[in-house]
Each structure stands twice: as C-alpha cells, then as structure tokens.
A and B are shown apart, each in its own frame.
Chain A
Amino acid sequence: MTSGVVVDVRAGRVREIASGLGGLRGALIPILHAVQEEFGYVDQPDVAVIADVLNLSVAEVHGVVTFYKDFRRTAAGRTTVAICQAEACRAVGAVALGEHAKRTTGCEFGETSYDGRITLDEVFCFGNCALGPTVQVGGRLHGRVTPGRLDALLGEAR
C-alpha cells in the first residue's frame, strides 16, 4: 500500500517535469519519456497531472501513453532484455533465440520474471542487421548472440 505522502511527492515531481518541458513544441512525448526515465514507468495518476499541466484532457494523454510501446504502465524488472525479432535477425536464428530466452527466464515477451530481476521484451530492429541476432541487455547492445552467449548475459544480469 502506497502512502498518500509518497503519492503527493511523485505527483509534485511529475508536475515539475511537465512544467519544465511544457514549453517545447509537442511537449507530451518528451514529458512522458522524462517521467519514465525518472520513475521507470508512467503511472495512472501521472497522466492526470500531465494533462492538467498541458491543458489536455486525461483521455488525450491516456491515448498517447497507450499508443506507444515504449511507455510502460508498471515497473519493469531490474534488467530489461530485449531480443530483436525482425527479418534480418530472423534470418540468423532470432526466433529460436527468443524461444530459448522464454524457456530460460520463464517469461513471455513483455513479462517480468517472478523474482523481479528480468523483463523480457521483443524489439523490431536495433539497426544491427549485419551482426545479428541482436540483444539489448540493460541498454547495452550485443551482436551475434548465440543461446550460450545469451545465458551468460542473463547470468550477469541476475
């Protein structure tokens, strides 16, 4: 259970972020990125605060948050592991690598492991198409990833 004080602190900070960036043209997406950067996800109460600052309806902000895959509605695990599933990586075994990752972590794409350590995700193209299969672990890109190498990377992330 989150205390009212914590909620107020977060709302205050979200308001600060939104007001700080509110002068940009098309400010909503930069604001959502900044909120997610700080808190790890965009919570439902944040949406109302941002809408208020930008003089938009809550529905408009909600619509944007849910349109874009990047914006999370809940916290991710400690490390996010994203596996490219697009054509160029598929040509060198990305589908099998994805299946291997699902078995190893016990997660489907988009899910977080039971211990909260790893969030598994699929991404369509990191622009590393000549050195696939490509995996991003905690923001770092890895090329030519074999199942064995993925196990090692997952091990380091645990």
Chain B
Amino acid sequence: MRVFVPRDSAARSVRADEVAERIAACAQESGGGQAVEIVRTGSRGMLWLEPLVEVETAAGRIGYGPINPEDVDGLIAAGMLDGRGKSLGLVEELPWMKRQERLTFARVGVIDPLSAEDYEAHDGMSGLRTALTMTPAEVVEAVVDSGLRGRGGAGFPTGIKWRTVLGAEADLKFVCCNADEGDSGTFADRMLIEGDPFTLIEGMTIAAYAVGAAEGYVYLRSEYPDAVATLKDAIELARTNRWLGPDVLGSGFGFDLHVRVGAGAYICGEETSMLESLEGKRGMVRAKPPIPALQGLFGRPTIVNNVLSLATVPTILASGAKAYADYGTGRSRGTSVFQLGGNVARGGIVETAFGITLGELVNDLGGGTASGRPTKAVQVGGPLGAYLPVEQFGLPMDYEAFAEAGAMVGHGGIVVFDDTVDMASMARFAFEFCAAESCGKCTPCRVGAVRGVETIDRILTATAGTDRDKHLVVLEDLCELMTDGSLCAMGGLTPMPVRSAVRHFGEDFNA
C-alpha cells in the first residue's frame, strides 16, 4: 500500500518531513502485516492543507490534511492507512481540484518527481517522442499555432521567438530557462521544478530540437535550494535514461543541460541580465537590440523562456496545438498557472484557462483573507504589478484586459492584503526595492527609485493642501519618466504599483 507525502519545500516548511517520518515509524510499530511504502511527491498546490497526506485506496487517493506530526498516531489508529477515519475524501474530487484544468501541472503532486518510470507511466516523454517525428520547423509552427505566450510576464509569443532562433545561422545555439523566480507571490516555477522536473527537461529538449541548439542552461535562484537539488538529480537521471546526451531517445539528436545557481540578485530575472550572469559577469542589463534570439548567451542565438513556457511545450506537442489553443480567451490562449498568496485563506496553485476573473480566484477559490478581515487590495503580477481594489474583481485574467486596466497578469501571482495594509507604505516599498535591486546601468531606474522614496516621504509629512499636491505632481512626473526612460522592466514597471496605489488608494497618501 502506498502513502503519498509531499516533499515540496512549502509542505516541508510546515513539517511534512516529520509527518512522513512519523507515518513510517507508526507503520513499523503497529506491524499490521501490510507493508507501507511512502512516496514523496510534489505538492497538489492546496497549500493551506499542507502537510496533505494521501492514501491509495481502490476508489482513488484519499486526502488527510493539514496534519501535524503529533496527529499521525491518532489518525493511523483511526484507520488512515486503509482510507478510513476523518478525511477530506477523494483528492481529485475536492472543489479546488475540480475547478482546474491542469495541463502544465498535470503530474505535480501526483507522481514521484524523481521516478522516470512514474513519469513515463503518466504520459511523460510523449511530447518529445512526437516532436522527434516532425521536422524542427514543424515543431516551431506547432508552438506558434498553440498561441503559447511567455509565462514569465512579458507574454511574448513563444513560437515567434523560436522561429527567429531557428532562422539564425550559427555554429552553436543555446536554450536558456529563466528560473529566477524572484517575484514575491509567485512560486509556480519552484513547485513545477520540485514536483515534476522531467517536464521542464523534456520541454527544453523539444525547444533545442526545434531550433537546433546543442546546450541548455537553467538559471535557478539560490533561494530555492530544494529545487536546485531536485533538478540536478533529475538531469542525472535523464542522462542515464538517454533523455539527454549525445543521442536523445536514439534519434541521433544531441542535447545536454546544465544548472546554474543565481546569487541573490533580483535583476537577474530580467533576460539580458540573466545572460550576463550566466556568462559569469555582474547582472547588468543589456540594451536591446540586438535581441537574445539573435545574439544571446556568449553572442549566440539563444532561446530564453520561463519555466512554465518550456514546461507547457510537452503537452502542446503530445495533444496537439489546437487542443491547447482551445482553452483561453481572446489572444490569451491555453491555461495559466495562477498563484494565490499573502493574506489569503486558501493559498496555492490554480491552473485554469485564461478568462477566469480575479474575483473568482481570490474569493471563490482563495476564500478571501486569512485574517477574516475585508480584502483591501490585491497585487497581481509580482512587485512590479499593479495594486487593484475589490471594485476591479470582475477583471478577467487575460493579458489584454489587464493591460487596458493599467495592470499586468505577469507571471500570474496574486498577493492578497486585508484592510490593515497601508498602501502608501507599499508604494514606498516598491521604490525602496527598486533602489536596492537596480543594476544601476540606466539613470531613470538607479536615481529615480531613490528620488521616489524621498518624494513619498515628503508626501506623507507634508501638510495637507498645496504642498502635498505639489509632491504628488512630482511623483507622477517621476513615474512617467521612469516608465518611458528605463532600459528594462525593472525601472519601467516600478511606477505601476506606485501609480495604482495612488489612483485606487489615494486616501492612504494623506498625512
């Protein structure tokens, strides 16, 4: 009999390891005859239920959670190992799971992330096998037709980027995966790498085949040590299985993959800064053009994609571009992996078609705030995303609809704040963060962020009336300059949280 306990670092942060150890010890003590095999999986993404233990029964996997290590003895005495006792019922049938359409995250939380057998038994490698029967150009066109857009935040069509790299002439090309998930409120990249790393490896291999790249790099942040360890192990296993190496799946196509660990610089999530860092330099942003697709890593044509973009490619190849494009709305095709965090009752991962509204995510799935107080604001798309009031909860999750509202979907992270939050302090923090993390190459970002902090301080200490209004004009002028004049999205988007805070929560800027 099999019992599943997550090894995801979020689950481990609330003592999943102790729970697993206690289950193993109890099963041994009771010696009830049947051997218990504990399988460590990724997380299902229902993080408020962690540690969530699942027990395999004839009917399916029965869930128990959240479980403290101290609860384990009692639960086992009540028959947990046979699926009896106070449970959540079948995990797949929980409303949170039923509401989702899991394509990219289909295996996360289900399989042992480091079992190649498990991976293949759950349709793993079928995307790559299909791709290898096609020409590289056909693979690129399939990704174009799927409508997949970069999940890292910018939303650029993935297939178009690949087409450029395929068309570039060079002795060597690279595939780089941007796994520098530094945005607060986003954790899907981490969960995918910890829960189903072979999907990323498969996606990168398909990308390499499609554009003729021989080497790949995953730039993974040092704040994610569990993800680093899991991915390195998975790459070793993939090499052993000939999923990577000089002769991928016996096709004659060669590709190898390496992990590079970041060193605590937020700016390295910006693609050109990441390339500099991969080259062993300071993470200074490069001016574009030339675009990385033509002159990227070490000056060679390079695909730079986010973890989720690359990890979605296998399902597109396996099920067909049309099947993927059938999900979604407008020009936002397919599914996206939304992440609920901050002050939210039920935080976690929701993979569903674009078009679901912000309110459905925060209220219906998230259950409102964790504190039970009214929701005041949500920040969507990371530290550079807009703060939105509840009046905007009708907005559909869709790149264009968000852009129209002066906001961005970004990487799909949603951070919830209750009514105790002071939005002026959050706006100030946006500038502080930019000042600390700016690479310093362009003046609007390097100097503008510092001036922004000072200006907000002046607004907050100004006497009401003209002084305050004058400083607000300066603030708006500064925001406009940073937006228009910065070299990259760091300086260019820092005004977004600031302006949205002033626009929607102006009362917080009164001294």
Contact = CB atoms under 8 A, between A and B. Distances in A.
B280 interface: yes
B280 A64 contact: yes
Interface stretch (B84-92, B182-190, B238-246, B325-333): B182-190
B260 A92 contact: no
Nearest to B9: A141
B223 A132 contact: no
Nearest to A143: B13
A129 B415 contact: yes
B280 A87 contact: no
Given A25-B298, A26-B278, A88-B341, A130 B263 contact: no
Contacts of B12: 141
Contacts of B263: 29, 32-33, 68-71
A88 B369 CA distance: 12
A128 B188 CA distance: 10
A49 B63 CA distance: 55
Contacts, number: 152
Interface stretch (A5-13, A73-81, A99-107, A119-127): A119-127
Q: A-side binding surface: helix, strand, loop or mixed? A: loop
Given A88-B341, A91-B415, A27 B280 contact: yes
Interface string A25-42: 111111011000000000
Given A88-B342, A142-B13, A130 B383 contact: no
Interface in B274-291: 277-283
A16 B383 CA distance: 41
A118 interface: no
B347 A130 contact: yes
A54 B281 CA distance: 12
A139 B13 CA distance: 11
Contact of A29 (B14, B280, B371): B280
B426 A87 contact: yes
A131 interface: yes
A87 B264 contact: no
A24 to B, nearest CB: 8
B260 A139 contact: no
A144 B51 CA distance: 13
Interface in B420-469: 421, 426, 429, 433, 437
A127 B190 contact: yes
B408 interface: no
Interface residues of B, number: 61
Nearest to B187: A127
Q: B-side binding surface: helix, strand, loop or mixed? A: mixed
Contact of B341 (A64, A71, A130): A130
Contacts of B402: none
B182 A124 contact: yes
B344 interface: yes
A97 to B, nearest CB: 14
B184 A125 contact: yes
Contacts of A90: 342, 426, 429
Interface in B388-420: 413, 415-418
Contacts of B351: none
Contacts of A126: 9, 223-224
Given A69-B264, A123-B223, A127-B223, A91 B181 contact: no
Nearest to B369: A91
B264 A129 contact: no
B368 to A, nearest CB: 13
Contacts of B418: 91
Given A129-B413, A131-B50, A88 B9 contact: no
Nearest to A84: B184
B253 interface: no
B307 to A, nearest CB: 12
B341 A129 contact: yes
Contacts of A33: 222, 261, 263
7 contacts: A28-B281, A64-B281, A90-B426, A91-B343, A92-B343, A125-B186, A128-B10
Interface of A: 24-30, 32-33, 54, 60, 63-64, 67-71, 86-92, 123-132, 134, 139, 141-144
Interface of B: 9-10, 12-14, 47-48, 50, 181-187, 189-191, 215, 222-225, 258, 260-266, 277-283, 298, 339-344, 347-348, 370-371, 379, 383, 413, 415-418, 421, 426, 429, 433, 437
